[in-house]
């Protein structure tokens, strides 16, 4: 296999949640640029429409579907519909998620201040929706004896993270182990599943709190490279895990964090 075929996704069908902006948009764009047909989903119809039109303007084969991943039945129905409409499902990015506010050293982020309604909302969106995405997608991938599942975790799920809220850290830790656990079942079917664990990237998560210089400085203080990541910097790892190049990689949680987990 030469290097070109290792990253060639022509003829493959991809599905990406949380794809209107940030990391999800970067993931959708790179797999589309590598030849895949991509179904992009997001809860924000206006941002989704704008992003789909921008990628279609590059002559990429992308389609948009408005989706709230908290609606488990609709999530599963849309995944099934993609597989039925296009005849296969090869690559799935379970990327959609929410943040949970300030970290535990702040007054409103302390354990005593955690809102259980918000906690349960994060469980539904950051954990249950990922499980539903994996389970539904895997049904189709097992039948076709191939598939790539990629989950967006976080370095907040592999270590204590002073800048992240309790619910966010807990759900990201849970999906990291969900990836390891499900790899045991899926590996015999030639289906791989891996997680990308980003450090701080400049996206609109948490209502864009990383655009606040003081908040950004707090995150950057733990990053040896001394800066936030840019969404395009996720593309290389995303393409690797979606492509034939990663055929012997499964059950892993791979940090992409400017060295934060090494410090």
Domain tally for the chain?
1
Show the 3-state SS of the chain. Answer: CCHHHHCCCCCCEEEECCCCCHHHHHHHHHHHHCCCEEEEEECCHHHHHHHHHHHHCCCCCEEEEECCCCCHHHHHHHHHHHHHHHCCCCEEEECCCCCCCCCCCCCCCCHHHCCHHHHHHHHHHHHHHHHHHHHHHHHHHHHHCCEEEEEECCHHHCCCCCCCCHHHHHHHHHHHHHHHHHHHHHHHHCEEEEEEEECCECCCHHHHHHHCHHHHHHHHCCCCCCCCECHHHHHHHHHHHHCHHHCCCCCCEEEECCCHHHC
The per-residue pLDDT for 48 is 98
The per-residue pLDDT for 49 is 98
177 within some domain: yes
217 within some domain: no
Could you say which of 3, 166, 168, 248 is catalytic?
168
225 within some domain: no
260 within some domain: no
218 within some domain: no
pTM score: 0.95
The string of pLDDT tens digits covering residues 70-104 is 999 999 999 999 999 999 999 999 999 998 778 88
The string of pLDDT tens digits covering residues 98-132 is 987 788 888 788 999 999 999 999 999 999 999 99
98 within some domain: yes
pLDDT in tens, the chain (263 residues): 677 789 999 999 999 999 999 999 999 999 999 999 999 999 999 999 999 999 999 999 999 999 999 999 999 999 999 999 999 999 999 999 998 778 888 878 899 999 999 999 999 999 999 999 999 999 999 999 999 999 999 999 999 888 889 999 999 999 999 999 999 999 999 999 999 999 999 988 766 777 888 788 888 888 999 999 999 999 999 999 999 999 999 999 999 999 999 98
In the residue annotation, 168 being an active-site residue is answered as yes
Specify the CATH number for the domain of residue 188. Answer: 3.40.50.720
Structural domain of 194:
3-202+230-255
């Amino acid at each position: 296999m030469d290097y070109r075929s290792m990253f060639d996704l022509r003829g493959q069908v991809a599905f990406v949640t949380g794809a209107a902006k940030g990391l999800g948009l970067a993931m959708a764009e790179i797999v589309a640029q590598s030849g895949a047909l991509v179904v992009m989903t997001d809860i924000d119809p206006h941002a989704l429409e704008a992003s789909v039109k921008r990628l279609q303007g590059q002559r990429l084969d992308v389609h948009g579907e408005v989706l709230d991943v908290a609606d488990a039945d609709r999530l599963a129905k849309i995944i099934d519909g993609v597989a039925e409409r296009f005849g296969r499902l090869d690559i799935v990015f379970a990327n959609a998620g929410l943040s949970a506010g300030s970290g535990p050293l702040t007054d409103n982020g302390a354990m005593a201040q955690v809102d259980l309604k918000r906690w349960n909302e994060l469980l539904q969106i950051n954990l249950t929706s990922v499980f539903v995405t994996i389970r539904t997608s895997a049904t189709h991938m097992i039948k076709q004896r191939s598939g790539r599942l990629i989950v967006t975790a976080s370095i907040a799920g592999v270590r204590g993270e002073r800048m992240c809220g309790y619910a966010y850290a807990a759900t990201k830790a849970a999906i990291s182990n969900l990836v390891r656990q499900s790899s045991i079942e899926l590996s015999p079917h030639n289906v791989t599943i891996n997680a990308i664990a980003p450090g701080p990237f400049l996206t609109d998560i948490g209502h864009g709190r990383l655009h606040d210089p003081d908040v950004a400085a707090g995150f950057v203080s733990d990053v040896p490279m001394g800066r936030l990541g840019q969404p395009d910097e996720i593309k290389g790892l995303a393409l690797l895990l979606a492509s034939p190049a990663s055929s012997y990689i499964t059950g892993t949680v791979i940090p992409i964090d400017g060295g934060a987990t090494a410090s």
